[in-house]
A and B are shown apart, each in its own frame.
Chain A
């Protein structure tokens, strides 16, 4: 093994442990809410265990030694000896931070602080164990065992007031129960006595309760009923499925963890041909958040350096350009064989591009996961109770975009926590629950991804923002901008209305970072706020940075690309409409007046217009505008090249692309054009 090999494996270890630590953090934060969740505890233990093991293997001895103590603590939690208290979780989070340091910069970590953490850990462990084993972690009757309980009520039991449903419910109360109904003794319908119970039950029960406790369920009936209670030999911590499968009768659903949906026996008989729609498929509410956090778990499989993906994307972009050049060159060719190869290449290039794009797409859950810790820390710092709710973790977004969104979102969340949410007393006065809520949402909307940070705090202070904006000269004194426009000013550099600077925000840096980053990502920011109700900042972002589907059009001799996502339809500009609309540029599209812009005039084209001009109807932000072009050439996969800094003040264009024949086509900035067109519309409305 050469030294560079060792370097590589060390990198792998660092990467892996980074993921493990992230996982650990996620699990710990979950554990805070569900401290008795065995899966979570196992998960935390496993992460620690792996860290310790591979740490020692790769020469991170201090990490291994330190982790060992934390692992030991969690081993005890796992065994039910101690409880996963808030203190323990908090301390493990601190230990986790130290582990990261030990991996990243072991030389800068001093022993003393580690000793401190460990000493506190010992205290907490001692405290947690004297708290007496709580019933839900380490029950008094020992470790859970799996029992098989088969019972059948004596004849006439139902009419003397016994109710098997209650017994099944009681079994459920004792532990995890899987209930299978035995319906083989149900007589044909005409012989069936509706007051009689013909169903027997076979229950696998995982519980800490003793045999006597289980027998108590059938009190009063013990002497007469058929009842067998046997302990299955499966080890206590193996899944109870290993205890031998329950024999299901042919057509009655397994009713697990849902005793309430079990039809009463008499009905069960009548309903037995119904499909098993009420089975155990419905997840328990506890499981749902975990399923959602699966987004954060993805990753796995093959590790590829990020730059290599970017390079690949770049090459695919070039390939797409070369391919479209090839297509243009062979357009006139009569050679059908060449044409078929060209078509084949077009198809392959298209697929390759889709796949490459797909590879770059990452679920935003990975990013959202990081903020849970942030919110946890902020809420401690500020002494506010804050709950972070995330929605749409599975929403996929370009990898580069996700990385660049981290900073802006941190700023937005901090801002919401610090300025948006009131103090606990403030919230009590406003009649709100003590716990403030920040909701982080991601979702797709057309070709955009919307990411919003919403809080249920006091909302933005319109007056203060207005005053501040006037001071800064951002708006004219006394101006009355719309809320939407005024609120956006908080993203201007140097803008802060915070009365005092706190640790977290209020220095006036930060929010402008949000705007700058979002601008760079070709996104937009919307702010909404309701005094006393909270505020919401929505970031609108394109799905990917690199490639768009475009509509290639010609105006005069130049060609332009209109992002296809913005195009609604293409209509012909009839000579009559052309003549009629001089002076007032409106077009009647299905009884709706749509303002249009003659690109020929806008771009001052000297070449005479085509006899039959076309109007491309585009929309942005809910408004529509028609763009008059000479010719619609067709759709075009557009690899976006940004304009040079020299052209950064050029409006109407958002970028450029290279066409198949090597010439450059500019990409139209649709939102800007729509704004211009609507301004025209407003002027027209004002004049009329």
Chain B
């Protein structure tokens, strides 16, 4: 079973990601900010990361930059789940090494479809 790390400071969003992805057959680990996410990603090798952009302590961009420096996370898909739809932010995220993004509010189906797309079923 593939494992997805859900990083978001909103517990409700994390829960929704967890329930949705569990229903689609993935295992989900939660982290409530970038630093927590980085620590959890280091201790457990996950297959994919879904992260918020604006978070306290360490934001999503820094998380991606940190993850991409780890050899184990060079090619692991990282998806942004964000309310930002500004093209400039997307460009920044991409430059940092994001695989793709989903704009909040999102449909459960959409999330599953994207995860399946980048992770394979």
Contacts and interface: CB of A to CB of B under 8 A. Distances in A.
Interface of A: 156, 158-163, 165-166, 169-170, 195, 217, 219-220, 224
Contact of B117 (A158, A160, A219): A219
Interface in B72-121: 74-78, 94, 97-101, 114, 117-120
Interface of B: 48, 68, 74-78, 94, 97-101, 114, 117-120
B117 A170 contact: yes
B99 A158 contact: no
Given A195-B74, A195-B75, A162 B118 contact: yes
Interface centre among A160, A162, A195, A217 (most CB of B within 10 A): A160
A166 B118 CA distance: 7
Given A159-B74, A159-B97, A220-B100, 7 more contacts: A160-B78, A160-B94, A160-B99, A161-B77, A161-B98, A162-B77, A162-B118
A108 to B, nearest CB: 59
Contacts of B98: 160-161
Interface centre among A163, A165, A170, A224 (most CB of B within 10 A): A163
6 contacts: A159-B68, A159-B97, A161-B48, A161-B77, A163-B75, A169-B120
B84 to A, nearest CB: 15
A159 B73 CA distance: 9
Nearest to B90: A223
Interface centre among A159, A169, A195 (most CB of B within 10 A): A159
Contacts of A165: 120
Contacts of A159: 68, 74-75, 97
Going nearest first, the 3 A-B pairs with the smallest beta carbon separation are A161-B77, A220-B100, A161-B99
Contacts, number: 46
B33 to A, nearest CB: 21
A161 B75 contact: yes
Contacts of B74: 159, 195
Contacts of A162: 77, 99, 118
Contacts of A217: 117
Contacts of B117: 166, 170, 217, 219
A224 B90 CA distance: 12
A634 B76 CA distance: 78
Contacts of A224: 94
Contacts of A195: 74-75
Nearest to A218: B117
Nearest to B77: A161
A195 B72 CA distance: 12
Nearest to A160: B97
B81 to A, nearest CB: 13
A161 B118 contact: yes
Contacts of A220: 99-101, 118
A449 B75 CA distance: 60
Given A195-B74, A195-B75, A163 B97 contact: no
A139 to B, nearest CB: 19
Nearest to A157: B99
Contacts of A156: 97
Contacts of B118: 161-163, 166, 220
Nearest to A173: B121
Nearest to A170: B117
Given A219-B100, A219-B114, A220-B101, A161 B78 contact: yes
Q: Tell me the dominant secondary structure on chain A's binding face.
A: loop
Contacts of B119: 166
Nearest to B119: A166
A220 B99 CA distance: 7
B120 A163 contact: yes
Contacts of B99: 160-162, 220
Contacts of A160: 68, 78, 94, 97-99
Contacts of B76: 161
A635 B48 CA distance: 77
Nearest to B96: A160
A168 to B, nearest CB: 11
Contacts of B114: 219
Contacts of A158: 75
A230 B54 CA distance: 40
A62 B12 CA distance: 74
A160 B99 CA distance: 5
B96 to A, nearest CB: 8
Nearest to A167: B117
A516 to B, nearest CB: 60
A599 B20 CA distance: 87
Interface centre among A161, A170, A220, A224 (most CB of B within 10 A): A161
B113 to A, nearest CB: 9
Nearest to B71: A195
Contacts of A170: 117
Nearest to B49: A161
Nearest to A162: B99
Contacts of B94: 160, 224
Contacts of A169: 120
A532 to B, nearest CB: 40
A194 to B, nearest CB: 10
A160 B100 CA distance: 9
Given A161-B99, A219-B100, A219-B114, A166 B75 contact: no
A165 B120 CA distance: 9
A471 B99 CA distance: 83
A220 B115 CA distance: 12
A224 B100 CA distance: 12
Nearest to B64: A160
Nearest to B114: A219
A145 B83 CA distance: 38
Nearest to A217: B117
A159 B78 CA distance: 10
A166 B120 contact: yes
A219 B68 CA distance: 21
A214 B118 CA distance: 15
A158 B118 CA distance: 11
Nearest to A224: B94
Contacts of B101: 220
A221 to B, nearest CB: 8
A225 B109 CA distance: 26
A195 B75 CA distance: 8
A374 B119 CA distance: 50
A439 B114 CA distance: 47
A159 B114 CA distance: 18
A169 B119 CA distance: 12
A160 B79 CA distance: 10
B101 to A, nearest CB: 7
B97 to A, nearest CB: 4
A162 B78 CA distance: 9
Nearest to B78: A161
Nearest to A156: B97
A156 B99 CA distance: 10
Nearest to A166: B120
B82 to A, nearest CB: 13
A58 B117 CA distance: 60
B35 to A, nearest CB: 21
Interface centre among A163, A165, A220 (most CB of B within 10 A): A220
